[in-house]
Amino acid sequence: MISNIERIIRETRVKDKSLGKAEGKEEGKAEGLLLAKKQTARNALRMGLSVKQTSKVTELPLSEVEALKKELVN
């Protein structure tokens, strides 16, 4: 009976570890996508696109694009 419990615990740990890795990969992808969108927004603003146009192109909120524009000015 103890060995059966140990096996179940081991299997649960393996499943949890796999799930954690998958979640970490998804978080990394989302973070990378956000960084790419922000860089694209900076480039668009430097090229003269308006905040509204940049927001539409990058799908970032207007407030985020406005904040990026302020960073470029400073």
Query: What domain range is 31 assigned to?
Result: 2-73
Q: Please state the domain count of the chain.
A: 1
User: Which residue reads 């694209």 in tokens?
Assistant: 40
Task: Please choose, from the candidates 60, 65, 61, the residue with its C-alpha nearest in 3D space to the C-alpha of residue 33.
Answer: 60
Band the pLDDT of 60: cuts 50, 70, 90.
very high
20-59 tens-digit pLDDT: 888 888 999 999 999 999 999 999 999 999 999 999 999 9
10-20 tens-digit pLDDT: 877 877 788 88
